[in-house]
Amino acid sequence: MCIRDSKEAGVDIENTDALVEDISELSKSTNRDGNFDKIGGFGGIFDLKKCGYEDPLLVSGTDGIGTKILLGIETDILDGLGHDLVGMCLNDILCHGAEPLFFLDYYASSKIDKNSFLKIMKSITEACKINNCSLIGGETAEMPGLYKKDDFDFAGFCVGAVERKKILPKRDVMKEDDLLYGIRSSGFHSNGYSLIRKVLKDKNIDLYKKTEFKSSYETNAAALMAPTKLYFPYLKKILTTNLINGVSHITGGGIIGNAPRMLSENLSARIDKKFICDEEIFQWFQSLANISDEEMLKTFNCGLGLVMTISKNYYKVFEQLIKDENLDIFEIGKIEVNKSSRCTIS
């Protein structure tokens, strides 16, 4: 039998081309200073001069959301996955003090389901708008044979900018007894889902049952699929003050692996244990999985999605600022001289 066209091979070029038009309409809502052209070209173009920087450094980041996608497919909770993707990328470049400028996505599946695809793209554009970040391009691919039926994967790429004199971390000014502050996560964000999914399966957890822990979500599925928190809106005003010396995004590797990444080698972080796993979803999962505190700390954010440090000399100024801005940012510990562990919870 002779295959006559791509559609018989499982690739619908016309359908994919039509989706580009849908994405183009969505992307227009993310336009900001610097937008140069609509999407659909061979490359996305951005005019940095329109953004008003004097001596900018570009900061790039790329990421995915791992096997949280599979839980989303299983529960048909797809609306927040694009939000997750943007959050994972933008929260990383925020650690260098960067303002997000533009975003690109890559989406691939065996056969693109328009309904699922547009749910995710709408979620991406909504998250971009929250961060004043322009969606300027991407790639959409059908690859039958590489992906199972109904499966898909996607990844993101973002670029931001920061003035050279404001780049983070500022390791040369960090010292012993400087203060650590944290911002709460919105749950597991997008890390540790291979472990989460295995435990849910082994324990035969009813995902659609009412949550067995205090939550703003009604079901286990909804709570576990809570979108990743976007941190740029929290820090946008603070980053203009030069008060922050370093920021760490608590992602894969957990709080133990990520909190010290902003510090110089001779320093370590000491975090008060009362801020760790104080949200019931983490306590519920740890009890369900019967795993150690150590495993929790090296796998999950444990309730702290972002950690930052400031000089103790600016304590009063910083506290007044977060009060004036009504920001849920709180002191969680301090910096110590590194003796053995780069991060201690006590």
Query: What is the pLDDT confidence band of residue 3, given thresholds at 50, 70 and 90?
Result: low
Domain boundaries, the chain: 7-166, 171-345
- pLDDT tens-digit map of 138-187: 998 888 888 888 899 999 999 999 999 999 999 999 999 999 999 999 99
- pLDDT tens-digit map of 207-242: 999 998 999 999 999 999 999 999 999 999 999 999
For residue 31, give both structure tokens. Answer: 């336009």
- pLDDT tens-digit map of 60-93: 999 999 999 999 999 999 999 999 999 999 999 9
| 99-119 core/surface letters (b: 16 or more CB in 10 A; e: else) | bbbbbbbbbbbbbbeeebbbb
Residue 283 in contact with residue 194, Cβ under 8 Å?
no
How much is the pLDDT for 157? Answer: 98
Distances (CA, A) of 267 to 81, 176, 334, 335: 36, 7, 10, 7
Write down the architecture of domain 171-345 according to CATH.
Alpha-Beta Complex (3.90)
Residues in CB range of 157: below 8 A, 6 or more apart: 60, 61, 62, 89, 103, 104, 105, 106
Most confident by average pLDDT, 2-11, 105-114, 310-319: 310-319
Return the HEC string of 53-112.
CCCEEEEEEEEECCCHHHHHHHHCCCCCHHHHHHHHHHHHHHCCCCEEEEEEEEEEECCC
Average of pLDDT values for 319-329?
94
Amino acid at site 278: D
The CATH H-level (homologous superfamily) assignment of domain 7-166 is PurM-like, N-terminal domain (3.30.1330.10)
- pLDDT tens-digit map of 9-63: 555 566 666 677 778 888 999 999 999 877 777 889 999 999 999 999 999 999 9
Catalogue the E-assigned strands of the chain: 56-64, 99-109, 134-142, 152-163, 179-184, 244-249, 267-271, 304-310, 329-337, 343-345
Average of pLDDT values for 119-139?
96
Least confident of 35-44, 184-193, 249-258: 35-44
How much is the pLDDT for 145? Answer: 84
How much is the pLDDT for 19? Answer: 74
Of the chain, the percentage scoring pLDDT greater than 70 comes to 95
Query: What is the pLDDT confidence band of residue 340, given thresholds at 50, 70 and 90?
Result: confident
Whole-model pTM: value is 0.93
- pLDDT tens-digit map of 259-318: 999 999 999 999 999 999 889 999 999 999 999 999 999 999 999 999 999 999 999 999
